[in-house]
Amino acid sequence: FNRPVSQFLLLLLLLLLLLLLLMSDSRVSSVIQEWVSSYQGQSHSSPSGNPQMDLLSYSQGLRPDDRGVTEQMMGLSYLPYTTSCLSNSSNSVTAASAHHEGHSPQQDFSPFLHPSMRAPLIKRSISKDSAEYRLRRERNNIAVRKSRDKARRRIMLTQHRAMQLQDENQRLQLRIGQLTQELDTLKHLLSQRHMQGAEEGTGDTPSESTAYYL
């Protein structure tokens, strides 16, 4: 997203939420509950009911970046022997702090050359360079996209909820002001009436004991 688009979107969403606020007003409660549930209970796929995309859209990796295979390569830290490259089929990457494994289809680099990370080499033929490793990566990429979308939605939602709550707050405070003023007026009126009606005896205060003419 570039700035103008995101700003426009934000504004649009704000307007929409304002409309929603106007329509159903008694929805201000349970902010934390929803957030926590959306944070922990991710068993439901699209909590916000976004009609845009669901699981399928993620599995269809049709982003403009995804044409073809989309490989990504890897770490290879701390190697002064840069000349003997991957074509040696045995030296380069795959082990450098277990970060960013080398990949490149039908090419295998056995984990080598890093003294601190030699143990995982034996670990169950790790890092199959182009077998079902790609499958796992692709699945994880899908999951990552999904999770990040979810996070984005969650953040937007929280933001809008905050705005909504702020508006509600303002309204409530206004209402409180009104009520307070009204109450003051009434109290004043009552006390005045007490003053005037003092000749009939029965002086008392409005809030508690109002049994004059009993």
Q: How far is the CB of 129 from DNA (least distance, A)?
A: 10
In the complex with a second copy, the residue whose CB is nearer, 24 or 29, is 29
Name the one range near DNA by CB under 7 A: 105-113, 142-150, 187-195, 200-208. Answer: 142-150
- Using the rule CB under 7 A, which residue among 66, 182, 184, 204 binds DNA? 66
- Using the rule CB under 8 A, which residue among 45, 48, 60, 170 binds a second copy? 170
End-to-end Cα, the chain, rounded Å: 75
Site for DNA in 70-129 (CB under 7 A): 70-72, 74-75, 97-101, 103, 127
Instruction: Give the Å distances, CA to CA, from 159 to 7, 165, 172.
Output: 14, 10, 20
- Using the rule CB under 7 A, which residue among 48, 147, 191, 210 binds DNA? 147
- Using the rule CB under 7 A, which residue among 40, 52, 106, 207 binds DNA? 40
Residue 73 and residue 92 in contact, taking contact as beta carbons nearer than 8 Å: no
202 dihedral zone (left: phi>0; alpha: psi -120 to 50; beta): left
Q: Is residue 54 involved in binding a second copy (CB under 8 A)?
A: no
In the complex with a second copy, the residue whose CB is nearer, 45 or 97, is 97
DSSP state of 127: -
Q: How far is the CB of 161 from DNA (least distance, A)?
A: 18
Q: How far is the CB of 18 from a second copy (least distance, A)?
A: 12
Pick from 104, 98, 132, 90: nearest CA to 118: 98
C-beta neighbour count of 19 within 10 angstroms: 9
Residue 201, φ and ψ in degrees, nearest 5: 70, -160
Q: Is residue 17 involved in binding a second copy (CB under 8 A)?
A: no
Site for a second copy in 110-149 (CB under 8 A): none
Residue 79 and residue 109 in contact, taking contact as beta carbons nearer than 8 Å: no
